[in-house]
A = this chain, B = another copy of it.
Amino acid sequence: MILIDYKDTRPIYEQIVERYKTLILKGALQSDEQLPSVRNLAMELSINPNTIQKAYAELERQGFIYTVKGRGNFVSGDSGLIDRRKNEYIEQILALVREVLEIGMSKTELIREIEAL
């Protein structure tokens, strides 16, 4: 479910955050489904519990999960998440598109590349 890529320049906790965000948005995890406990996931990935804690705290801050002390972390049922996430992506994509247009690539050429996916 979760894999750490040590060749990735991004910090571990950030990779975990991204991975769960995607899993939740793709519907791979249901609302109110429980996430692995901080200690369990840390064991499984052979990393420090504090690192998992940091990732979960960030996921909660962004509204993807909610925490119940003593019980665990659970997937949030917030339906607005997908739209917000889409907008994040769109902004990133458009920013890159603006740059590549500036150095002379044509919009049609770009769209052809996307169509080819």
Contact = CB atoms under 8 A, between A and B. Distances in A.
Contacts of A96: 89, 92-93, 96
Interface residues of A, number: 28
- Give this chain's copy count: 2
Given A93-B93, A93-B97, A96-B96, A104 B117 contact: no
A99 B82 CA distance: 12
A113 to B, nearest CB: 6
Interface string A87-113: 001101110111111111101001101
Interface string A1-33: 000000000000000000000100110000000
A94 to B, nearest CB: 7
Contact of A98 (B92, B97, B117): B117
B82 A97 contact: no
Contacts of A111: 111, 114-115
A39 interface: no
Contacts of A85: 103
Contacts of A110: 90, 93, 114
Contacts of A114: 93-94, 97, 107, 110-111, 114
